[in-house]
Structure 1
Amino acid sequence: RLAKLTAAVMLSRDVPVHLFSSVVPTPYVPFAVRKLGAAAGVMITASHNPKEDNGYKVYWCNGAQISSPHDKEVLRCIEEHLEPWSASCWDQDLVDGSSLRTDPLIHINSCYMDELASLCFHRSLNSSCPLKFVHSSFHGVGHSFVQEAFQVFGFAPPIPVPEQKDPDPNFSSVRCPNPEEGESVLELSLLLAERENARVVLATDPDADRLAVAERGDRCGWKVFTGNELAALLGWWMLFNWKENHPDPADTQRVYMLATSVSSKILRALARAEGFHFEETLPGFKWIGNRIHDLSKTGNQVIFAFEESIGFLCGSMVPEKDGVSAAVVVAEMAAYLQNQNLSLNQQLHNIYTTYGYHLSKTSYVTCNDPPTIQRIFSRIRNFEGDGLYPKVCGGLCVIHVRDVTTGYDSSHADLRSVLPVLRNSQMITFTLQNGVVATLRTSGTEPKIKYYAEFCAAPGQSDVRRLEEELQGVTAALLNEFLQPDKNHLII
């Protein structure tokens, strides 16, 4: 209904509209924007949130989510037109009767699957793969699209979780339809996988733009990969296949991988060792999507991008995270590794052994008082005196500070951050002498202060337990020394 209302508003002003006749994954809209040469795109989706929280995602003509100045201009137009033009702009009969309305579903799905085939590197191996895969679409839109993607790659279809196969706005079988929550929300998928003797579980979130993966081990039950761990695997995989198809080392000079600034730095370690380019963006895939567009204009190619909240983009066929393509790419990677007598988890440790262990910890505190949040971050910015940031965290020297809110970055000679300044939010990153990178940031949608910490160890540092203990110590210091939960009445 909301999609039809959006279309009706456009049609009432004689603007041609491509309206999908059925639900589609979120990445289909930005893909269609670019393929059809549209001026903009709108995706109505609540994702894993309750149906009352339907969101309205807007994409620019480059296929990426809108950013400045377009987001500010949209807001200005809303504020200047708080009353509808007329009752006719809500007339849904326009959608059914207008010659300006077309249905792009069949064409766009065909184009998407054709381009998806470019990410398939081992089709003959896929067709003989002994592995079984279970897929849950979490009561969302992903089922038929993931099934077709597997067919494109030459796989037998994945086994669907029947209770979660079809769209259901009530999310009847899960307490929280967010696969990022891990094993607790994957219960039906894991039970089905055990019954079917399937080793890999793939779970797309309700709008199919994110992906969770679990793998059954030989002796230790199920391993549910974090977003950062999956990114290490997918980054390695995309680079491995790129190099297989581009043996000239000079070609690597135009290859990029991207990640948001609160995500793992594992791609940075790969880039330093393998010679491609790695860049960080601000949190949110809109920044990645727009950077992909900018890089493509100068002849560069982004072969992988991600954010830690299980959002992945393999290749750059769409400037948005894409759970459908990520699911089938993970399946092909698992099939290839199976042929090498390796599991996904074993290969993850091979990557860490080669490029250095990257161990992450992410959590948050709740603060329902905005002035308290302001005081916390003001104190950090004046920790050692007026305008002086902390020099020590948990007994370790702070060697760099980046403050996106003010545009400060001590790692650069001009003390300016290369990331865009975000004055309406709080975000400070600390780099410590032992290799830990820690970030404090406010949530854009909830009364939370999130904290992210990662131990970026050098190759050869393989005492994982010691690394985890050091990371835990830094995380505790970050919380107690900088956020002061007791004094500030924060909810942990």
Structure 2
Amino acid sequence: MSCAANLAAQKALLPQKIEEWLKWDKNDKTCEELRKLAATPDNQKLLENIMLNRIAFGTAGLRGRMYVGYACMNDLVIVQTGQGFLRYLEKKDKDLLQKKGMVIGYDGRHNSKHWAELTAAIFLHAGYPVKLFGMVTPTPYIPFSIRKYKCAAGIMVTASHNPKEDNGYKVYGPNSAQIIPPADKEIQQSILENLEPWPTSWDKSILSNNSLLSDPLGQVTCNYLGVIFNDILPEFKEINLKQKLLITHTAMHGVGTPYVKKVFDGIGIIFQTVPEQQDPDPEFSTVKFPNPEEGKSSLDLAFRTADQQGSVVILANDPDADRLACAEKQKDTNQWKVFTGNELGALLGWWMLFQYRKKNPGKSLENVYMVCSTVSSMILRTIAKAEGFHFIDTLTGFKWIGNKALELQSAGKEVIFGFEEAIGYMCSMAVVDKDGVSAAYQLATCASYLYSQGKTINQQLQEIYDKYGQHLSLNSYYICHDPVLIKKIFDKIRTKRGPDTYPETILNGKYQITTVRDLTTGYDNNQPDKKAVLPVSSSSQMITFNFSNGLVCTLRTSGTEPKIKYYTEMCAYPDIKDKTQITKTLEEMVDAICEEMFEPKLNGLQAKAG
């Protein structure tokens, strides 16, 4: 069948898909919205997009706009997903599902609680135990609970730091880490095999007085806090109490406030909130993008509040509290410095090693590991070489970091830290995922200790770079909503002079590219057989270039947002002190990479604002 004929056949399915939706969907609002769209001829293209396409289940689960249609997030898609996931778990380990059930949590976004309840009802109707949190919780509570209760799986209904129009459905496996391939494809297939709602799938009445349903919030909170309170060294808790460091915290209209407060109260940190942002607000009324990774544009209110409170340190969680950002008032400029994710990774890596040595005086580091993703700063690799512990990098995403940490732990290794540059930190194996609450505990205690020594956070960070060498990063992204254009851009990079002929230089030969690793195609010219060692995924774009002067650059697409991202880092030897010249070279090279490889003007790419 020709492309034109295939397209015509697809369009002919539209009335059938609309009829099917109206038959299956029990939500009056989305049904009415679909009827209105179908009644207007001008909506034909929109209808084709939302009804003839389907939102894909990936390793991050589902995430997308809340709207009617199979390509969006809504009640019917949640029901179909819950049914498919249930059947998948039954095939994997029905006995485990029957004995231990699953755990479900949700954030404060529109529909989150409702979708968590719909999912719980599907499993309860099938006779499986469900632990459903009775109120909004941090995402890290899900992997923590799976490990505690040995559940068959976990689900968190959240879109993390996405705009208010979005929501998501995040899945964790029985090992408590985020799922990795091929689980995502198997779940997607199971969803497609169970699209028609079962007779009981819309019935939430089963949530009332059900012996299979329990709320683990109290017990999980107690145990989670216990891990932290047992971890902190008495001397550091004493410093916290004596130093009385005031920290301003923002939950970014999310779930973090009560949980971080419980932690800080227990370790002796003085806690103040940004009042307008301390409670869950699905409208995110004070921020355009509820993502502290955006830096100053998302932290303006926190700056003003901290200034009024007399605080010099700000900690910010994203709305589901699995990420952490930090800012510090600089005495010399009286300005706020927002630390990058890589800078906090360097600082927390140093702090976790410092504490490990305190807890294990004289113990060898030969069994100690730190992990980070390949797009993050290689500062941990540099510190590992100098100090004698091990470092491993993984593919992008905490699913890879968490699963690698579990693999190492199973082999008898001690994993004391993991991080990704997108302000995600794993400071304990109790949660093999990024955890903004425990990271807040570590960073607050680190800050308190440093201030007791007469140092600031930034001063300690500079000492780390002075000792181990400057690691300067320059990361950003272009916005692109067209998947076809994105593929065209990356394919052009791969075919400079023919198949597998990547760029060899930039800026008219000034900077030489030494090696190329393409984890979309599996090409790596640094390997004898030119085949990549790390896992390959043809469904995402990711190319890494190494330059002769030490620059590492990775170009990749986002798995959850319409972005083409670039990550660059210049690693300098400790004896190279001219930070200004290193920065100048880095900026020149990044500008050239963007212009020559992305061709933003030609392709109409919109650069990151601000």
| Secondary structure of the corresponding residue to residue 516 of structure 2 | strand
- Superposition pairs of residues 214-225 of structure 1, within 5 angstroms: 214-220=327-333, 221-225=335-339
Structure 1 residue 487 displacement after superposition: 3.1
Among residues 278, 286, 294, which one is paired with 1:173 in the alignment?
Answer: 286
Among residues 202, 208, 224, which one is paired with 1:96 in the alignment?
Answer: 208
CA distance in 1, matches of 2:165, 2:591: 37
Matched residue, 1:6: 119
CA 1:368/1:6 → structure 2, altered by over 3 Å: closer, same or farther?
Answer: closer
Contact map agreement 2:519 2:534 (CA 8 A) in 1 = yes
- Matching of residue 127 in structure 1 with residue 241 in structure 2: yes
What percentage of residue pairs aligned between the two structures are identical?
A: 50
Letter in 1 for 2:449: Y
Matched residue, 2:405: 292
CA 1:248/1:415 → structure 2, altered by over 3 Å: closer, same or farther?
Answer: farther
Matched residue, 1:248: 362
Post-superposition Cα deviations, 1:280-327, rounded to whole Å, max 9, x if no partner, equal 111111111111111111011211111111111112210110111111
CA distance in 2, matches of 1:77, 1:385: 40
Matched residue, 2:263: 149
Larger radius of gyration between Structure 1 and Structure 2 = 2
Contact map agreement 2:517 2:545 (CA 8 A) in 1 = yes
TM-score by length of 1: 0.96
- Superposition pairs of residues 446-485 of structure 1, within 5 angstroms: 446-485=561-600
- Matching of residue 489 in structure 1 with residue 489 in structure 2: no
Matched residue, 1:327: 440
Contact map agreement 2:247 2:269 (CA 8 A) in 1 = no
Matched residue, 1:116: 228
CA 1:290/1:484 → structure 2, altered by over 3 Å: closer, same or farther?
Answer: same
Structure 1 residue 118 displacement after superposition: 4.0
CA distance in 2, matches of 1:230, 1:71: 31
CA distance in 2, matches of 1:47, 1:378: 31
Matched residue, 2:144: 31
Contact map agreement 2:470 2:572 (CA 8 A) in 1 = yes
Contact map agreement 1:63 1:319 (CA 8 A) in 2 = yes
Unaligned runs of 5+ in 1: none
CA distance in 1, matches of 2:203, 2:194: 18
TM-score by length of 2: 0.78
Letter in 2 for 1:44: V
Letter in 1 for 2:269: F
CA distance in 1, matches of 2:124, 2:293: 38
Matched residue, 1:257: 370
Among residues 170, 178, 186, which one is paired with 1:65 in the alignment?
Answer: 178
CA distance in 1, matches of 2:572, 2:287: 37
Contact map agreement 2:153 2:171 (CA 8 A) in 1 = yes
CA distance in 2, matches of 1:222, 1:233: 18
Counting matched residue pairs gives 489
- Superposition pairs of residues 271-420 of structure 1, within 5 angstroms: 271-394=384-507, 395-420=510-535
- Superposition pairs of residues 198-213 of structure 1, within 5 angstroms: 198-213=311-326
Post-superposition Cα deviations, 1:408-467, rounded to whole Å, max 9, x if no partner, equal 223333433221101111111011111110011122234432111111111122211111
Letter in 2 for 1:407: G
CA distance in 1, matches of 2:429, 2:506: 39
Contact map agreement 2:570 2:586 (CA 8 A) in 1 = yes
CA distance in 1, matches of 2:433, 2:591: 34
Structure 1 residue 491 displacement after superposition: 3.0
Contact map agreement 1:381 1:387 (CA 8 A) in 2 = yes
After superposition, the CA RMSD in angstroms is 1.5
Q: Which runs of 4+ in 1 moved over 4 A?
A: none
Post-superposition Cα deviations, 1:3-61, rounded to whole Å, max 9, x if no partner, equal 11110000010010001111110000110011001000000112222444211001101
Q: Which has the higher contact order (CA 8 A, sep 6+)?
A: 1
CA distance in 1, matches of 2:489, 2:297: 33
Matched residue, 1:19: 132
Contact map agreement 1:438 1:452 (CA 8 A) in 2 = yes
Structure 1 residue 384 displacement after superposition: 4.5
Unaligned runs of 5+ in 2: 1-113
Letter in 2 for 1:104: P
Post-superposition Cα deviations, 1:468-491, rounded to whole Å, max 9, x if no partner, equal 110011101111222222333333
Contact map agreement 1:485 1:491 (CA 8 A) in 2 = yes
Post-superposition Cα deviations, 1:199-230, rounded to whole Å, max 9, x if no partner, equal 10111111111111110111211111111111
Larger CA deviation: 235-244 vs 478-487: 478-487
CA 1:45/1:447 → structure 2, altered by over 3 Å: closer, same or farther?
Answer: closer
Among residues 35, 40, 44, which one is paired with 2:153 in the alignment?
Answer: 40
Contact map agreement 2:163 2:289 (CA 8 A) in 1 = no
